[in-house]
Structure 1
Amino acid sequence: MTTISIPAVRLPARPRPSIRAEVARRILTAVAGRVPVDVRLPDGSLLDGGSPDVDVRPVLEVVRPDALYRRIAAHPKIGIGEGYVAGDWRAGAGTDLAQLLLPFAERLTDVLPPALTRLRRLVDRPIPSAHRNSLLGARRNIESHYDLSNDLFAAFLDETMTYSSALFDEARPYADQDLVEAQMRKVRAVLDLAGVQSGTRLLEIGTGWGSLAVEAARRGATVTTVTLSVEQAALAQERADAAGLGHLVEIRLQDYRQVRGTFDAVVSVEMIEAVGEEYWPTYFGAIDRVLRPGGVAAIQGILMGHDRYQATRHSYGWIQKHIFPGGLIPSLQAISETVEQHTELRVTQVHAFGRHYAETLRRWRRSFLASWPEIYGPGFDEEFRRKWEFYLAYCEAGFDAGYLDVAHIRLTRPSRGGVA
């Protein structure tokens, strides 16, 4: 028998994780030890080495550990969200995604050891200059979200097509209430706050799909409403005409900075978050410019605490990259300081209702997932589904935890006699 000698084959060594990825693993391990969540690795063990708390704690299943560590190492603020979208991790069986994210949101200010928190400025990245809300940039930023498809939004919003927090009746459990009723309660509350009635000349900054403009016209107001979304403007016009109120509602494809004229009242629902800090003086200045003496403005805005606003105002996060380019959530203090320094407007009334937004987002996410078979198609693939599921759950957790808030804010412009 002839013996054939086969040379030994040296298998390539398994790539060693980078130093940054190893640091990311250690940071994630430290976080897992400080949050009541079981972070489960593919072999069933827990990342922090503890014992599973069966049927008590939410479970985060890591599917591809090395990929997740690399993402977090590359961009700590964006890597977790991008890891979910890519499938590097998921909520464990029986764990709701928003409930999984809630413990992290509740401990957002102290989830990292103090020594690591002090290094935040070394990993924070500035908001890209391409996301600035210049006249051209604002149109591009709005189109990237609101012009995705009217059919997409119709699939998960209620019949009012209202894409902002509802206002539920505090006397009854939120979960028992109809979303349409709660959204119309919100619309009426904004109009009441601005004193809109028959004969009011009303400017709306940010049309949405027209529900507020149509309701104002039903009161007998003459409405001018501006938007940068072609899709929204077309459907809003259809809805105003269908209600027989098209003669009272003028819908303009126009930037708020370009509006001229004088109005008795100005309303703007969840527009301030899209303006960008650089343009807050311009935004409130535009309201101040067009509002008659003694007029009233009412805005609905998402807010965060002033300390958190200051800590995050120059950093670039997952929501800004993937959902709302150019956006920044203000604090109430930041709004008050801006209007006092740059306008004659003054904040005279605030009503906060953040938990209502958590319930609104729960409804939207439930409808989005239930409607996914109808949404799925060109431009809306599984990656898009995971992105929007994470976005809705992430925001829901933020409002449930109180990290985020939403409020109705009344701004008055003094009359010539000095009385608002």
Structure 2
Amino acid sequence: MTVAPARQSANYWPGLDTIPSGPRAAVSSAIAKRLFHAAVERLDVTVVSGEETFGKGGPVMVIHRPEEFYARIGRHQLIGFGEAYLTGAWDTREPADLGELMTVLAAEVSDLVPQSLQKLRALVVSRPPRFHRNSEDNTQSNIAHHYDLSNDLFEEFLDASLSYSSALFPSEVVDRGDHLQALAPTAVPTAGELHEAQGAKIERLLDEAHVGEGTRVLEIGSGWGELAIRAARRGAVVRTITLSTEQKALADQRIAAAGFTEQVSVDLCDYRAVTGTYDAVLSVEMIEAVGWEYWQTYFETIDRVLAPGGRVSIQAITMPHDRMLATKRTYTWINKYIFPGGFLPSVDVIDQITRDHTTIRVTNRLSMGAHYAETLRLWDETFLGASAKVLELGFDERFLRMWHFYLEYSRGGFASGYIDVNQITFTRPQETA
């Protein structure tokens, strides 16, 4: 298998080779250069541009083509920053520097542009295109853009469980009052430890949902079947749903190989169309693909199908509430190149929506963002090591840069604490009151 039919355009990005030009581009480029220099001068990074070096010192960024770099940022802001990396207008001195650079930038992202200018944000940033909105008509194509790239691609950098979400490594867990927090892993994880940590993540979710013998389980977002297999191993009967034809095909194979065909069904189904009643509903890093316009529908659906006494356990990537409000109508590099229609909720908005529109309530939460930073580091190291094999699958050098940037861009968000990942448990407290 090479590039999936749904993504024959995996190596084709219209407009990426067109550098902004003209009077407007010249003005915006000059402004971008001034703002970029002012921001970098107070950051722990080093930027080299020709004979010029600036920044307070730290991971090294090298600007190879300054005119292109500032033109792209001026016209397309953070999207342009990422696109300039894809075209090679800038790079880091060492591959490992990219994650460190992105960590510094993510930690300061809300203040990179002066507050006085942020009032003009609505006039400058691009809005997501309408076809990225995750309506029932659009969602499958948005999912296919990423998950139907090629099962072989994902097999090159994920562990044997094919878990494409944060692992949970051994660490100290502290009680923060309103939630638990898994501190940084007790030792720097190695690739050989990733599989066990992915299993630990899934088993904790299953424990939180009280999955056991005879439990009727609904999983929203199948992945490649690992959670369903582990739930079936406990004696549960599982319905797992996905909109990715590639994922379904491989999940069916893996479930059959594990001997659970009679216990697990994998259905191509939109979460909004789910019927039936389930004792446990689980969903791992699926809410990020729902879109903020449909979060209420997502939780109302879960509430509708959850049996009396049932439990819900999800894993969700989250962002601070104020940043969520400020950016929810912003078109990002991640939207354009990696996850069309995706957007991260805050913990606060999840709590608010479930309180206002459902009968389920947040009753337990584990924050584990430091573990995602390590998961992404391991994925990227493995991905870079498999570059030759990825090229053999039909992807090109630009795609390699794109995914390296995506993985390290994401790692920087978690390493800086700008974004987090949580395992959240919901129950109906009134049923046991």
Scaled by the length of structure 1, the TM-score of the pair is 0.91
Of 203, 206, 219, which residue of structure 2 is paired with 1:204? 219
Of 183, 189, 194, which residue of structure 1 is paired with 2:204? 189
- CA deviations 1:224-265 (Å, max 9, x no partner) are 000000110111111111011111001101111111010001
1:37 paired to 2:75: no
Q: Residue 411 of structure 1 aligns with which residue? A: 426
Larger relative contact order, structure 1 or 2 (CA cutoff 8 Å, min sep 6): 2
1:352 paired to 2:367: yes
For the residue of structure 2 that corresponds to 1:74, the secondary structure is helix
Q: Residue 145 of structure 1 aligns with which residue? A: 146
Which runs of no fewer than 5 residues in structure 1 stay unpaired? Answer: 1-14
Q: Residue 66 of structure 2 aligns with which residue? A: 65
Asked if 1 retains the 8 angstrom alpha-carbon contact of 2:153 and 2:393, the reply is no
Q: Residue 166 of structure 1 aligns with which residue? A: 167
Which whole-Å CA distance do the structure 2 matches of 1:243 and 1:271 have between them? 24
Q: Residue 312 of structure 1 aligns with which residue? A: 327
Asked if 2 retains the 8 angstrom alpha-carbon contact of 1:345 and 1:411, the reply is yes
1:175 paired to 2:175: no
Q: Measure how far apart 1:111 and its partner are.
A: 2.3
Asked if 2 retains the 8 angstrom alpha-carbon contact of 1:30 and 1:112, the reply is no
- CA deviations 1:240-293 (Å, max 9, x no partner) are 110111110011011111110100010000000000011111111110010011
269-278 or 91-100, larger mean C-alpha shift = 91-100
104-113 or 239-248, larger mean C-alpha shift = 104-113
Q: Residue 86 of structure 1 aligns with which residue? A: 87
Identify if the C-alpha distance between structure 1 residues 365 and 95 changes in structure 2 by more than 3 Å, giving closer, same or farther: closer
Read off the aligned partner of 1:28 and give its amino acid letter: F
Q: Measure how far apart 1:105 and its partner are.
A: 1.1
How much identity, in percent, do the aligned residues show? 48
Asked if 2 retains the 8 angstrom alpha-carbon contact of 1:190 and 1:298, the reply is yes
Identify if the C-alpha distance between structure 1 residues 257 and 95 changes in structure 2 by more than 3 Å, giving closer, same or farther: closer
- CA deviations 1:89-146 (Å, max 9, x no partner) are 0002476210121111111222222223333222122221110111121100000000
1:395 paired to 2:410: yes
Asked if 2 retains the 8 angstrom alpha-carbon contact of 1:142 and 1:228, the reply is yes
Q: Residue 33 of structure 2 aligns with which residue? A: 25
Identify if the C-alpha distance between structure 1 residues 413 and 369 changes in structure 2 by more than 3 Å, giving closer, same or farther: same
Which whole-Å CA distance do the structure 2 matches of 1:288 and 1:28 have between them? 47
Q: Measure how far apart 1:34 and its partner are.
A: 1.9
Which whole-Å CA distance do the structure 1 matches of 2:251 and 2:88 have between them? 37
Identify if the C-alpha distance between structure 1 residues 224 and 94 changes in structure 2 by more than 3 Å, giving closer, same or farther: closer
Scaled by the length of structure 2, the TM-score of the pair is 0.89
- CA deviations 1:360-382 (Å, max 9, x no partner) are 00000000000010110464101
263-272 or 84-93, larger mean C-alpha shift = 84-93
Asked if 1 retains the 8 angstrom alpha-carbon contact of 2:167 and 2:201, the reply is yes
Which whole-Å CA distance do the structure 1 matches of 2:230 and 2:80 have between them? 42
Read off the aligned partner of 1:204 and give its amino acid letter: E
For the residue of structure 2 that corresponds to 1:380, the secondary structure is coil
- CA deviations 1:292-315 (Å, max 9, x no partner) are 112101000000111111111111
Mapping of 1:10-409 within 5 angstroms?
18-41=26-49, 43-46=50-53, 48=54, 57-93=58-94, 96-170=97-171, 172-176=186-190, 178-377=193-392, 379-409=394-424
Asked if 2 retains the 8 angstrom alpha-carbon contact of 1:35 and 1:111, the reply is no
Identify if the C-alpha distance between structure 1 residues 211 and 94 changes in structure 2 by more than 3 Å, giving closer, same or farther: closer
Asked if 2 retains the 8 angstrom alpha-carbon contact of 1:146 and 1:232, the reply is yes
Q: For the aligned residues, what is the CA RMSD? A: 1.6
Asked if 1 retains the 8 angstrom alpha-carbon contact of 2:169 and 2:189, the reply is no
Which whole-Å CA distance do the structure 2 matches of 1:379 and 1:338 have between them? 43
Which whole-Å CA distance do the structure 2 matches of 1:309 and 1:175 have between them? 31
Asked if 2 retains the 8 angstrom alpha-carbon contact of 1:288 and 1:413, the reply is no
Which whole-Å CA distance do the structure 2 matches of 1:93 and 1:279 have between them? 41
334-343 or 391-400, larger mean C-alpha shift = 334-343
Q: Measure how far apart 1:75 and its partner are.
A: 1.0
Computing the radius of gyration from Cα coordinates, the structure with the larger value is 1
For the residue of structure 1 that corresponds to 2:47, the secondary structure is strand
Read off the aligned partner of 2:187 and give its amino acid letter: P
Count matched residues: 397
For the residue of structure 2 that corresponds to 1:90, the secondary structure is strand
Which whole-Å CA distance do the structure 1 matches of 2:297 and 2:96 have between them? 44
